[in-house]
Amino acid sequence: MANEQAQTANPVASSPAAGKPIDPSEFEWVGPNVKEMETISRPSISFWKDAFRRLRKSRVAIVCLVILALLVLGAVFLPMVSPFDFSRQNVAFSNQPPMWVDNETSQPHLFGTDTLGRDIWVRIWMGARVSLTVAVAVALIDCLIGIVYGGVSGYFGGMVDNVMMRIVEIISGIPYLIIVMLLMVVLPRGIGTIIIAYSITGWTGMARLVRGQVLALRHQEFLIAAESMGARPARIIARHLAPNLLSLIVVNVTLDIPNVIFTEAFLSMLGLGIAPPQSSWGIMANDGIAVFQVYPMQLVYPAVFISITMLAFNLLGDQMRDAFDPKLRR
């Protein structure tokens, strides 16, 4: 009875599984390992390195980047090495099927020819050059103006915010087509006119989104700490607010690029876009609509390129949103 009470009071002194007592001298107190406590379990990397590391692991993002890179390289170099001129017309060779061989140059027309005998393959890549240039330029301009305008409005708030937002509402109330028509009267038709016309009103949506996010982050602890340490508003917006807004900005830029491509196509179909003989996907789609029932491929080619470009930008934007979101860092 005494042995049972002793074993119950000191359970470490005996091992029920082994059936024999454990000698305390077999154990040694080593204390905490100071070196392991001070070691860093994860290497210290910057925000950008961590974001791009996670982006490289996404197969969808890599495929979209490859597609967009091929589109850009094709738009730059393929018209330069092609034996055909995108503006050369020969009605005698009009509406020829794909892979038709030209008797004059003995070179095949990969996508055939249009109603004026122009090579569709070269015109597709010239249209990619124009459409991508307009889309990227407009998206970057809208992004830059919207971030600065919305960041200043949301950070300072009060009367500054009220005045700046009323200006945004006035600009947003002006129809875009009216601005384009007015500029077409004053300025010649071309890429620069489209970029200017779209940039005048296109930045308002980005400004509102940035302003809303800045208002949500305005009273967070890390901003209060930065202000208490004497950081200036420009540094706070650039170093603290911008990384937290990056996912929102990237997604809206990638969605804005295909929107601009469709807008340019719409203006070209109305006769307000690129002036002939320049080529764009919108002009080619408009020409393909006229002969769609007889030669449907003349509409399919630009439509496929527009769809692939839009899909690649949208999927890439989703992957970049996940990679650049600070809340997903582990």
**CATH number of the domain residue 138 falls in:** 1.10.3720.10
pTM over 0.85: no
Give the separation between CA 188 and CA 56, rounded to whole angstroms: 43
CB 169 within 8 A of CB 209: no
Residue 266 inside a domain? The answer is yes
Phi, psi of 190 (to 5 degrees): 170, -175
Residue 262 inside a domain? The answer is yes
Q: Report which of 307, 175, 176, 314 is spatially closest to residue 253, judged by C-alpha positions.
A: 314
Regions of the chain with pLDDT less than 50:
1-9, 11-16
Burial 284-302 (b: 16+ CB within 10 A, else e): bbbbbeebeeebeebbebb
Task: Give the pLDDT confidence score for residue 39 in this predicted structure.
Answer: 58
CB 111 within 8 A of CB 102: no
Angle made by CA atoms 16, 22, 28, in degrees to the nearest 5: 135
Task: Give the pLDDT confidence score for residue 306 in this predicted structure.
Answer: 87
Residue 52 inside a domain? The answer is yes
CA 95 to chain centre: 37
Q: Report which of 260, 246, 258, 244 is spatially closest to residue 315, judged by C-alpha positions.
A: 258
List the domain range (segments joined by +) for residue 304: 47-78+125-328
Q: Is 279 helix (H, G, I), strand (E, B) or coil?
A: coil
Task: Give the pLDDT confidence score for residue 234 in this predicted structure.
Answer: 80
Half-sphere exposure of residue 13: CA atoms within 13 angstroms, side-chain side: 8
Task: Give the pLDDT confidence score for residue 71 in this predicted structure.
Answer: 92
Residue 98 inside a domain? The answer is no
- Domains in the chain: how many in total? 1
Half-sphere exposure of residue 98: CA atoms within 13 angstroms, side-chain side: 9
Residue 227 inside a domain? The answer is yes
Residue 97 inside a domain? The answer is no
Burial 142-172 (b: 16+ CB within 10 A, else e): bbebbbebbbbbbbeeeeebeebbeebeeee
Give the separation between CA 51 and CA 57, rounded to whole angstroms: 10
Give the separation between CA 242 and CA 296, rounded to whole angstroms: 47
Residue 143 inside a domain? The answer is yes
Distances in Å between the Cα of 49 and the Cα atoms of 54, 57, 137, 142 are 9, 13, 26, 26
Task: Give the pLDDT confidence score for residue 325 in this predicted structure.
Answer: 67
CB 120 within 8 A of CB 128: no
CB 238 within 8 A of CB 177: no
CB 180 within 8 A of CB 238: no
